[in-house]
A and B are shown apart, each in its own frame.
Chain A
């Protein structure tokens, strides 16, 4: 897979919300291309349009105007069912608030996307979901209910769910927003590992240190992209976690 291969290309995206008499230009002419194998972090102040942009990328919402090509195919021209299929098989979406089903075990939550994928046989559901949970380090908590899991573990269930249909791209809107820094690093470790395997990752974060784990950073302001550059001194999560471990070891020995 060539690093320069174009996966996503959006041009002149405009999203205008009209509430009563006021118009909010959540996206004001945004254009961006994302290559295959990219790890992109989208930054910006609250209300700058990051989530609006991610929801359009994730085929959950439509722009007011603009074009969106994925693997060269026009996304906006597709109907509801085709978009559902796209979300199911090409995309994996991770939310800030986890959005896993309550009173439903980790394994069953991860199996959900398989229910809507006709290409996978029912007998393979268990194995696939199990493997996805193992890949996020939850192989021993498969039968746990969400209320028995920590925030970090719940987010891992959500990531496993996003992975279970082998997506080409993972989209995450503030995936570490509700987590402490150590748990956030663990999530970044998973994202970096996935990215190393060739999965494209697009992530929104308002924390600069989390953005340092990405390959490229984009900054939104008032619905426009004002910065787009590769990350210098990219952090590697595995190493950062080792440092934290050392620090806590020192603390506990002194």
Chain B
């Protein structure tokens, strides 16, 4: 029996039960679509995270207190204080491969302007911080080393802070005095708008002030630093710069050769890799959940094909009576389930791409549809059709002609 005819027979019987065929297909459609959408969303955020981390500056190096080799990047308030202000100066003076370096103290604070009240995050940094992170100013000018030495009460603000204190993002707040934890501080510059990062954080909800100002006027201790942000002279020298910093700090902290560091040095690319791994795990997780729906769709196919075999027992009997062999019946039903899963797969791919695009357009979430995800989910759905179609088809093929004919 010729395969083309079999396809004709399969199509005809699927068309005869349009609604049922479509509902069966729906399981596969939803399965494939969600696998594709999930992979697209996962891959999109993966690339986006990498881009965000890269925005920290490709040459950048971070130094945190505590030995934290296993992963976590953002240590909260300095629970283990090991990095001192003088460490920063030592690195600046002694590490030739380090280009820029800034201590970073971060804390949340209540900011008041007139009757407006806003809770935001204050970063105590030096000028170098802006260079390392490639931050620019939309208005005004940045603070200087002199301001730092003078513990000057000046700051740079992000546009979200401007919006919440002055009621308008475009308001020019240069020269205005705001109160940070009751300390009057003058705004001397506004940071260019950065928008949200991948983690949904508003990067414009920030105030930068000279390190000494934040440390001496707002922090309880003036000995230790939350973290250090530095940059290597060039991308190729970052790894060597890390060694330089590590050796210097071990030396300064008097760590015995057999002991672990009491600080952690990471490069931007290491952090990028950590997030990459996390996002890959997330993607796999999402895709596995989505593929469960594909599996459920496959069981749906099996269910419908079993019903169909029972319902069409008489038809099977007639076909056998006029000469259909077991394998002809087997192929007929197999083709039906393959056609269902194949078409379901095609429609599912289209729907998955559509959903991904909608998520991108309306959810503002980055998506990247890879050829790999399309090919894999399509193959998977077809294999599901084969796998779950087999049992019902086999059942149909093994019927006895006379029993099938007598079936009412």
Contact = CB atoms under 8 A, between A and B. Distances in A.
A60 B322 contact: no
B396 to A, nearest CB: 14
B254 interface: no
A233 interface: no
A103 B16 contact: yes
Contacts of B324: 84, 88, 115-116
Contact of B322 (A103, A113, A122): A113
A101 B315 contact: yes
A143 B401 CA distance: 28
A99 B323 contact: no
Contacts of B217: none
Contact of A116 (B4, B16, B323): B323
Interface in A91-139: 93, 95, 99-101, 103-104, 112-113, 115-118, 122
A162 B318 CA distance: 11
A187 B87 CA distance: 109
B402 interface: yes
A81 B321 contact: no
Nearest to A80: B326
B315 A115 contact: no
B325 A99 contact: no
Interface string A43-58: 0000000000001001
Which of A84, A88, A161 has the most chain B CB within a 10 Å cutoff? Answer: A84
Nearest to A98: B318
A205 interface: no
Contacts of A101: 315, 318
In this complex, which of B4, B315, B321, B402 has the most chain A Cβ atoms within 10 angstroms of its Cβ?
A: B321
B323 A113 contact: yes
Interface extent on A, as a size class? 20 to 34
Interface string B206-217: 000000000000
Contact of B325 (A58, A95, A113, A116): A116
Contacts of B405: 60, 95, 99
A240 interface: no
Q: Is the interface of B mostly helix, strand, loop or mixed?
A: helix
A3 B395 CA distance: 44
Contact of B323 (A55, A89, A104): A89
B402 A61 contact: yes
B9 interface: yes
B1 A99 contact: no
Nearest to B312: A101
Nearest to B398: A80
Given A101-B315, A103-B16, A116-B328, A58 B321 contact: yes
Given A99-B318, A122-B2, A122-B5, A117 B323 contact: yes
Given A55-B402, A112-B319, A80 B1 contact: no
Contact of A87 (B323, B327, B400): B323
Contacts of B400: 61
A85 interface: yes
A121 to B, nearest CB: 9
Interface string B384-408: 0000000000000000111001000
A103 B13 CA distance: 9
B191 interface: no
Interface in B309-345: 314-315, 317-328
Contacts of B1: 115-116, 118
A60 B401 CA distance: 6
B391 to A, nearest CB: 19
Contacts of A118: 1
Contacts of A95: 405
Contact of B320 (A84, A100, A117): A84
B5 A115 contact: yes
Given A60-B405, A161-B322, 17 more contacts: A58-B321, A60-B401, A84-B324, A85-B325, A87-B323, A87-B401, A93-B321, A95-B405, A99-B314, A99-B318, A99-B321, A112-B319, A113-B322, A115-B1, A116-B319, A117-B323, A122-B4
Interface of A: 55, 58, 60-61, 80-81, 84-85, 87-89, 93, 95, 99-101, 103-104, 112-113, 115-118, 122, 161-162, 165
17 contacts: A60-B402, A61-B401, A81-B325, A81-B327, A85-B323, A87-B323, A88-B324, A89-B323, A99-B314, A103-B16, A104-B12, A112-B319, A115-B1, A116-B322, A116-B323, A116-B324, A122-B4
